Amino acid sequence: MKLEGFGIFVKDMPTMIRFYRDVLGFEIKEDENAVNVFLEKDGTLFLLFRRTDFEHMTGQTFGYAKGINGHYEISLGVENYAAVDAAWQEVTGKGAVSVMAPVTEPWGQRTCYIADPEGNLIEIGSFNAE
């Protein structure tokens, strides 16, 4: 088996589309009322799937975390340490919730965390000082 991508089951599709498109810069061409959104980001398939539609398709209901949650993270890489700081400034300025401001970790990575509107964690980081 080969990893092709990942998906997020979303409650509010229009809000999540606007966040990933307008705040993080993902190229999303689907309408905000789409049932699901398939896009590719840097060679990785990324899917937003409306929870109610997935439950209807599978004939099951599922439990979902509320608030900022630590079930997984989406990791985005940038060029260098300065770009981590600039990206954090930009996305929090556009409304992303800051979970952790940029710091340089003992293992040499400069990293920060934000949350999307449904509480999923997103890391922005780099191992390149310059």
Cα 37 versus chain centre, distance: 13
Q: Give per-residue pLDDT as tens, 43-72.
A: 888 899 999 999 999 999 999 999 999 888
What is the percent of the chain with per-residue pLDDT over 70, rounded to a whole number? Answer: 100
Run of H or E residues at 14? helix 13-18
> What are the residues whose beta carbons fall under 8 Å from the beta carbon of 23, sequence distance 6 or more?
91, 94, 95, 96
Q: Give per-residue pLDDT as tens, 71-97.
A: 889 999 999 999 999 999 999 999 999
Cα 76 versus chain centre, distance: 8
Q: What is the pLDDT of residue 39?
A: 84
Rounded Cα gap, residues 30 and 37, in angstroms: 6
